[in-house]
C-alpha cells in the first residue's frame, strides 16, 4: 500500500431542513391547530482514529467530503430526519489542521477518538413551535441553518515508542528487521527506505512495543534538504531515539561525527527532540578496523547515553541492544 502522510481535503457539513407550515385538517374540527414539524439538523463532518488505518492514502484519492442535508419538517407534527454524517477514518496519530491558518484543531492519539470538524446546520422550526394562548394559528416558521465548509490539512505522525534515526544507508532497515518481525527493503545504496516502517518488539510475555524506522535524514534536512520535514515530524511522536551509526572504515564517515550531526538536525527541527532518551547502535563491529572506531565512539559520547555494538553477519550484540531498549522503555514507563 502507498504510504501517504499528508493531504489537503475539503469538507462540508449539511444544511438544516426547513420548518413546516401546516394546520390539522380533521373531520368535524373546523379550526385545527398548527402541526408543522421541525426540519432535521444537517449532518456533521467527523474524524475517527482507526487502528486498522496506517496511511492517509484513502484521503489522497477522495479530497472532498460532504455530509447530507436534513430533511424538511412536515404536517402532523413530523420532524425531518437528520442529515447523514460524513465520517472520515484516519490512522491513530493524525493531526487535523485548518489549512488557511495552520491552527491545530485536534490531535487524534487514541484508538476510537472522535473529532467533529464541522457541525451541521440546525433544522428550522415548524409553526407548531410558535403557538401561544393569544396566537393559536401562527403562520410563522424558520428556515434551516446552512452548513459550513472549510479546507483542512491532515497530517500523520507515526505513533511508536522507539524511533530509529540515522543517515541514509546507515543500517536502519537492517536494524528494524533484526529487532522486530518487519521486513523492509534492504540494499547497499542511500534512500532505500522512502516510507517509515513499523515493527513490534515483544517486551515480555504480555507486552509489546512499536519501533519505527524513520527514512534517512541528511544534513540540512531541518531546512528542507533531501526528504526534509516530511519524515522528521514522525520522530516527534517517539519516546526513545536509537541512533544508527556505521563502524565500517570503508564508509569514509566518522560514527561520532554522524551522531553529532544527526542531533544537530533534530535540534534545528525541534529542540525538544534533544530531550528524548537516546541509545546508540553501532553496526558492523565485525569488519576490519571497526573496533578502533567503536572505542573512539564510546569515549566521545555524552554521559548517560548507552551504546551497543552489533553485527548482522555474526549476530553479536543484538540481544544486548534489544534488552537495553526494553529496559530503558520500562524505566520511562515506571517514572510516568
CATH of the domain at 255: 3.40.50.300
Separation CA 137–CA 35 (nearest Å): 10
Torsion of CA 227, 60, 195, 221, to 10 degrees: 20
Q: What is the pLDDT of residue 312?
A: 84
Cβ contact 162:237 at 8 Å: no
**What is the pLDDT at residue 259?**
94
10 & 151 share domain: yes
Q: Please give the pLDDT value at position 176.
A: 72
Same domain? 194 vs 144: no
Domain end (from 106, 138, 156): 156
88 forms beta bridges with: 47
Contact indicator for 149, 120 with CB cutoff of 8 Å: no
**What is the tally of structural domains in the chain?**
2
pLDDT at residue 226 in the model: 42
Nearest of 189, 228, 236, 230 to residue 212 by alpha carbon: 236
For residue 92, give Cα distances in angstroms to 110, 152, 224, 249. 6, 17, 26, 41
Q: Which of 99, 126, 69 is nearest to 9 (CA)?
A: 99
Look up the domain containing 7 and give its range. Answer: 1-156
Can you list the positions of beta strands (E) in 176-239? 197-202, 208-213
Residue 210 in 3-state DSSP? strand
Residues 204 and 96 in one domain: no
Task: Indicate the DSSP class of residue 56.
Answer: S
Final residue in a domain of this structure, among 129, 156, 183: 156
The reply to whether 173 and 141 lie within a common domain is no
- Predicted local distance difference test score (pLDDT) of residue 33: 85
- 61 CB burial (10 A radius; 0-12, 13-18, 19+): exposed
Residue that is last in its domain, among 156, 181, 203: 156
Give yes or no: residues 144 and 264 share one domain.
Answer: no
Same domain for 288 and 197: yes
Which stretches of the chain score pLDDT less than 50?
A: 1, 183-194, 205-206, 221-228
Residues 102 and 120 in one domain: yes
pTM for the whole thing? Answer: 0.74
**Are 67 and 207 in a shared domain?**
no
Q: What was the pLDDT predicted at 190?
A: 41
Confidence (pLDDT) at 200: 65
**If you write DSSP's letter for every residue of 75-144 in order, what string do you get?**
TTTBPPPPPPPEEEEE-TTEEEEETTT--EEEEE-STT-EEEEEPPPPPPPPGGGG--SS-SS-----PP
Q: If we measure between CA atoms, which residue out of 173, 190, 166, 187 comes closest to residue 242?
A: 166
Is there a single domain that holds both residue 220 and residue 110?
Answer: no
Torsion angle of alpha carbons 58, 161, 198, 114, nearest 10°? -20
Same domain, yes or no: 168 and 141: no
206 shares a domain with 151 = no
pLDDT value of position 277: 93
Residue 106: the pLDDT is 96
Model pLDDT for residues 147-194, shown as the tens digit of each residue: 999 999 999 887 778 888 888 766 666 777 777 655 444 334 343 444
Q: Let me know whether 7 and 148 are in one domain.
A: yes
Q: What is the CATH number of the domain that holds 65?
A: 2.70.210.12
State how far Cα 22 lies from the chain centre. 50
Half-sphere exposure of 130 (CA within 13 A, CB side): 18
Amino acid at each position: 500500500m502507498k504510504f501517504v502522510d499528508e493531504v489537503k481535503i475539503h469538507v462540508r457539513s449539511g444544511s438544516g431542513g426547513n420548518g413546516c407550515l401546516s394546520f390539522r385538517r380533521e373531520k368535524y374540527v373546523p379550526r385545527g391547530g398548527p402541526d408543522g414539524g421541525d426540519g432535521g439538523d444537517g449532518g456533521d463532518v467527523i474524524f475517527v482514529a482507526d487502528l486498522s488505518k496506517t496511511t492517509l492514502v484513502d484521503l489522497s484519492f477522495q479530497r472532498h467530503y460532504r455530509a447530507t442535508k436534513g430533511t424538511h419538517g412536515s404536517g402532523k407534527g413530523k420532524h425531518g430526519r437528520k442529515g447523514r454524517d460524513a465520517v472520515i477514518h484516519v490512522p491513530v496519530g493524525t493531526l487535523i489542521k485548518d489549512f488557511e491558518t495552520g491552527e491545530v484543531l485536534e490531535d487524534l492519539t487514541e484508538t476510537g477518538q472522535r473529532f467533529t470538524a464541522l457541525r451541521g446546520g440546525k433544522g428550522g422550526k415548524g409553526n407548531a413551535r410558535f403557538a401561544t394562548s393569544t396566537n393559536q394559528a401562527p403562520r410563522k416558521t424558520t428556515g434551516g441553518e446552512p452548513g459550513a465548509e472549510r479546507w483542512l490539512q491532515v497530517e500523520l505522525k507515526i505513533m511508536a515508542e522507539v524511533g530509529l534515526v540515522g543517515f541514509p544507508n546507515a543500517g536502519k532497515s537492517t536494524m528494524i528487521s533484526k529487532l522486530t518481525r518487519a521486513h523492509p527493503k534492504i540494499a547497499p545504496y542511500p534512500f532505500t527506505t522512502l516510507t517509515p516502517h513499523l515493527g513490534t518488539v515483544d517486551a515480555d510475555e504480555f507486552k509489546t512495543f512499536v519501533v519505527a524506522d524513520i527514512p534517512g535524514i541528511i544534513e540540512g534536512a531541518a531546512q528542507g534538504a533531501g526528504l526534509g520535514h516530511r519524515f522528521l515530524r514522525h520522530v516527534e511522536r517517539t519516546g526513545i531515539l536509537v541512533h544508527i551509526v556505521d563502524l565500517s572504515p570503508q564508509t569514509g564517515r566518522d560514527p561520532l561525527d554522524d551522531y553529532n550531526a544527526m542531533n544537530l538536525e533534530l535540534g534545528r527541527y525541534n529542540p525538544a527532540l534533544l530531550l528524548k532518551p537516546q541509545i546508540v547502535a553501532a553496526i558492523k563491529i565485525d569488519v576490519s578496523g571497526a573496533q578502533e572506531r567503536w572505542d573512539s565512539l564510546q569515549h566521545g559520547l555524552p554521559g548517560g547515553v548507552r551504546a551497543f555494538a552489533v553485527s548482522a553477519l555474526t549476530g553479536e550484540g543484538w540481544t544486548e541492544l534489544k534488552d537495553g531498549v526494553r529496559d530503558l522503555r520500562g524505566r520511562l514507563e515506571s517514572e510516568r
